[in-house]
Structure 1
Amino acid sequence: MAPILHLLLLLPMAAASSPGTFSFDFGSLSIRNLTLLGDSYLRSGSVGLTRDSGVPSSSSGSLLFNLPIPFIDPSSNVSASFFTRFSFSITNPSPGSSGDGLAFFVSPHNRTLCNPGAFLGLFNASSPSTNLSIIAVVFDTRSGANHVGLNIGNPVSIKSSELSVFGIDLKSGNAVTVWIEYLSDEKRLKVWAGYSSSKPEKPVLSASFDLSRYFRELMYVGFSASTEGGTEVHTIESWSFRTFGFPAIDAHKQTFHNVSNGSWSVFPARPVVDAGKSSHKTLALGLGMIGLVSFGAALIVFAFMLLRKRMVSREICGCSKRVTLKGLRQFRYQELSSATKGFHVSRIVGSGAFGTVYRGVDPQTSMTFAVKRSKKTHQSKNEFLAELSIIAALRHKNLVQLQGWCTEKGELLLVYEFMPNGSLDKVLYNRTDSGLSLALDWTQRCSVAIGIASVLTYLHEECDQQVIHRDIKTSNIMLDAHFNARLGDFGLAKLLEHDESPVSTLTAGTMGCVNPICTERPSMRRVLQILNYEAEPMVVPRLKPSLTLTSNAPLVLQEIVLDCYESQVSSQVR
């Protein structure tokens, strides 16, 4: 029975690829099949390659497929052709502070980064010859650059092309889809790029170059990026890869794998059959068996998907029933779709790794509310359940209050009270949706700090269980009509008993206001001492300092606050 089930699971994959190929396709990235190096991190099905700190720093990170891929057949010395498709985005909180860009690479090794923080994390400028086997397609943003290039073993491209000619701006923050194809028999590499999911007719780069000279029998594929003192954030959204055009791989030396969010597989060539010994009867029997097995496999896959969907629906409905007594409303999908004009792009007020937030207006009552639409991923489902179950029981003046939810049509929707002044980060950095410049005076800033401290005291000490938010940052702090601070986004929150140590509950979101210099961050012992009132917490000044200095040097929030406090104390002494 076990061999038959094994065959049933393998057949759908084998039908999707030709013999002698190696392929994988990840619509959503998972740590199960990837290796993350340096500063790279996984968040909601995407991989960030560099730190999302918002301040200039030298950060670099790499993402590799776990296993080496055959690029040369040792028996015939024939090299493979390959094709890859991926989507990425490059965002920059400080447009004047650029990074290096990112690169797709093929390498004979999976070791750590060569030059952390610079040269895309791939090359050593001082000794480029040590990395001559690294083949990279580079998307360069250094010093205002906006081009794609082919690099072999060093940071200098052997051929490049300006992307602005094709209407592409790498630093726009928009998702860019890239297709790369190398044909071994033609010895030509082509690169296409665009903002849509359809491959353009004209490539942005075409290079006649024999890459097989740098191939090894087994190679690793992946991505790498660096900032070199900038603030760029590089994110890989999806990735597929396959090799083709070289002789078969021995089936006894390979294993087959199938994973939930993508698959990778190696398929051996079909054996050559002597035509004199074959017969129509054998062929008909073989085709009949294949058809029967395919039908059985399709039934198994359909049953699995149906069962999984029902389990998810029951889990969400069970959670919904538990919170019904808390006074929340279960909205209908049609209500929320009508209130957001069909989730139109003009109604978007915020977006992130969790999904998108829309402004909704009830056509009957004219009441305005915010609708959080989560992405349709397993991680988003977990965050939806966590947020629904945790925040539904919380009541505090400095919390964004949850009003209801909706799980119809496979959607995961949460309805919150609308915050007209948006998030704190947009107000601080003049990025409000209305285009108006909203400046917070010193009293309002102090009020925001006190409000967040108040709600954290409530979450940590006054609830039946400790609620550890784990993602405190300015984009998750909202401002109501009177600029009062409201804490939101509890998708990463955890519940702890009051006698349970919070040491294992680390920060799960972005770096936010954390000091980018790791050696200057307080130790966990120091943090626990502050939480237990055994050490002095960081001072928050109540008055605006009498002396303000500006500098082009990188600044740290803790240093700024201490400078402001010391300036205020000095003015009072005088």
Structure 2
Amino acid sequence: MALKQHFILLCFFTSCFKSLTADTTNSSFTLKTFGQRSTFDSLLSLYGGAKVVNGGQSLQLTTGRVIYKNPIKFYSGTPKKLVSFSTYFEFSMTSGFHGDGLAFVVFSGRDDLFDGNGSFGVSNRGGVKFLSVEFDTLMDDKYKDINGNHVGIDLSSFVSLKVVNLSSVDLGLNSGTRLQVWIDYEAGSRRMEVRVNKFGENRPVDPLLFGEIDISKIWPENDGFFVGLSSFNGNDSSQRCNVYSWSFKTRQQPDWMHSDPLDPVGFKGKGKEIKVHKENDCVLWIVSALILGIGFGALGSFVGMLMWTVFARRRPIAPEENAVKPVVKV
């Protein structure tokens, strides 16, 4: 009976483990190319002059944008908690005049964000809320741009909260070089990090720039949010912007994660990248430990019952020297 109960529990936790490892959310996608039209159409929408080129090897966003179709929930659980997200994409831009560059944009579905006339094709009208990371190739004095080769974190305005000169790390946006970008937002620390490197190079340990942004104060409601890549270059622009791959994923914030912003100075110079444990990893460790514990418990019970059957229930045999001698009748 005990073995049967252990076996039932083992099957139950195994099924839970499988359900936790399955990707059942609609907030994650990976497109290494854009050649599979059915997959592409089910995930992404093209607007403006955006189009698939080079036989599906890239998207051209010279004057257009690509938006992930499914609304993303930035809050989950009970009570509602902000989730973290990460995105990765590869792109290149050719040199040209009157080109804004490229921007990764997060926006609410209720906002009329894109009007085709603002920087990167994004409206800058008052009251429109958005979060973006801009890869700017146009120095615009009204936005206090530092040069025509910078990366900035923007919050409902193209006057960047944080900005960095890409020339300082020997990278050029409009050089035609294929670049790769990692953007990570950690809900626990309210911290956004941006990393950039040449295609084929490793992900940098230290972020190129970072900023503390509390999304819960920008969008306190649990509305559907959208993410996209947008570019806008004037009709007389000769700049070309191509995107070669794009992926995006969300992950829940662990209950035990520190809620205050991390101090980046305390980690500087360690030589190794600080890795934040994800909630899924924690859950998997817990479930794995339970499965192992139950498995060893069931094995121990089986061995114990076997030993009891072999030894405890075995009839004692009298030793030879104490054996009963037969009675001989005369």
Q: TM-score, normalised by structure 2?
A: 0.62
Deviation at 1:23, TM superposition (A): 2.1
The unaligned stretches of length 5 or more in structure 1 are: 1-10, 51-59, 249-266, 285-574
Query: Mapping of 1:169-248 within 5 angstroms?
Result: 169-195=172-198, 196-215=200-219, 216-217=221-222, 218-228=224-234, 229-246=236-253
Check conservation: 2:27, 2:70, Cα contact below 8 A. no
Task: Find the aligned partners of 1:247 and 1:20 in 2 and give their Cα distance.
Answer: 17
| 2:229 maps to amino acid | F
Corresponding residue to 1:160 among 145, 148, 163 = 163
SS in 1 for 2:202: coil
Q: How many residues align?
A: 236
The residue type equivalent to 1:122 in the other structure is: V
Greater mean deviation of Cα atoms: 24-33 or 177-186: 24-33
1:258 aligned partner: none
Structure-1 separation of matches of 2:92 and 2:70: 25
Q: CA deviation at 1:223?
A: 0.6
Find out whether 1:34 has 2:30 as its counterpart.
Answer: no
Q: Matched residues in 1 for 2:90 and 2:18: separation? A: 26
Question: Is 1:49 the counterpart of 2:61 in the alignment?
Answer: yes
- Residue 280 of structure 1: aligned partner: 294
Amino acid at match of 2:246: W
Shift in Å at residue 165 of structure 1?
0.3
8 A Cα contact 1:85 1:239, kept in partner: yes
Q: Distance in 2 between matches of 1:102 and 1:233?
A: 10
Partner secondary structure for residue 189 of structure 2: coil
Cα pair distance change 1:45/1:14, threshold 3 Å: farther
- Find the counterpart in structure 2 of residue 140 from structure 1: 136
1:400-479 correspondence to structure 2 within 5 Å = none
Larger helix percent: 1
Per-residue deviation, residues 20-48 of structure 1 (Å, max 9, x unmatched): 89422111132331011111112213211
After superposition, the C-alpha distances for 1:109-135 in whole angstroms (9 at most, x for unaligned) are 2877633143111122xx232x12x11
Question: Equivalents in 2 of 1:128, 1:189: separation in Å?
Answer: 24
Distance 1:243 1:281 in 2: 33
In the alignment, the residues of structure 1 paired with residue 114 and residue 44 of structure 2 have an alpha-carbon distance, to the nearest angstrom, of 19
Q: Paired residue for 1:128, among 126, 136, 151? A: 126
Q: Which letter maps to 2:58?
A: S
Change (3 A) 1:202 1:76: same
SS of match in other structure, 1:149 = strand
Partner SS for 2:181: strand
Which one-letter code corresponds to 1:23 in the other structure? S
Runs of 4+ in 1 over 6 A off after TM superposition: 11-14, 281-284
Q: Does 1:151 align with 2:158?
A: no
Local SS of the residue matching 1:160: strand
The TM-score with structure 1 as length reference comes to 0.37
Offset, 1:227? 0.7
Check 1:247–1:110 CA distance in 2 against 1; reply closer, same or farther (3 A cut).
farther
* CA deviation map 1:183-239 (0-9, x unaligned): 111111111101034101221111123233224522111111111342211111101
Whole-Å Cα distance in 2 between the matches of residues 225 and 157 of structure 1?
17
Structure 1 residue 25 and structure 2 residue 21: aligned? no
Q: Whole-Å Cα distance in 1 between the matches of residues 20 and 65 of structure 2? A: 30
Looking at structure 1, the residues matched to 49 and 232 of structure 2 have their Cα atoms a distance apart, in angstroms, of 9
* Percent pairwise identity: 29
> Is 1:72 aligned with 2:75?
yes
Residue in structure 2 matched with residue 467 of structure 1 by the alignment? none
Q: Report deviation, 1:75.
A: 3.2
Structure 1 residues 223, 281: closer, same or farther in 2, change over 3 A?
Answer: same
In the other structure, the counterpart of 1:330 is none
Q: How far, CA to CA, are the matches of 1:46 and 1:79 in structure 2? A: 33
Counterpart residue identity of residue 60, structure 2: G
Task: Give the distance between the partners of 1:242 and 1:108, measured in 2 at CA.
Answer: 17
Q: Counterparts of 1:45 and 1:14 in 2: how far apart (Å)?
A: 33
Instruction: Report how far residue 98 of structure 1 moved.
Output: 3.3
Aligned counterpart, 1:298? none
Q: Distance in 2 between matches of 1:121 and 1:13?
A: 41
Q: Give the structure with higher Rg (CA).
A: 2
Local SS of the residue matching 1:170: coil
CA distance in 2, matches of 1:210, 1:219: 15
* Distance verdict in 2 for CA 1:20–1:37, change over 3 Å: closer
Partner Cα distance (1:238, 1:28) in 2 = 6
Q: CA deviation at 1:105?
A: 1.0
Equivalent AA in structure 1 for residue 29 of structure 2 = F
Aligned 8 A contact 2:131 2:155 in 1: yes
Q: Which residue of 1 aligns with 2:144?
A: none
Structure 2: segments with no counterpart, 5+ residues? 1-16, 35-39, 140-146, 256-279, 299-330
Q: Decide which of 41, 49, 62 is 2:65's aligned counterpart.
A: 62
The separation in 1 between residues aligned to 2:189 and 2:251, in whole angstroms, is 14
CA distance in 2, matches of 1:120, 1:208: 23
Partner of 2:321: none
CA change 1:158–1:35 in 2 (3 A) is same
Query: Following TM superposition, by how much is the alpha carbon of 1:180 offset from its aligned partner in structure 2, in angstroms?
Result: 0.7
What does 1:285-296 align with in structure 2 at a 5 Å threshold? none
Bigger relative contact order, structure 1 or 2 (CA pairs below 8 A, ≥6 apart): 2
Q: CA deviation at 1:84?
A: 1.1
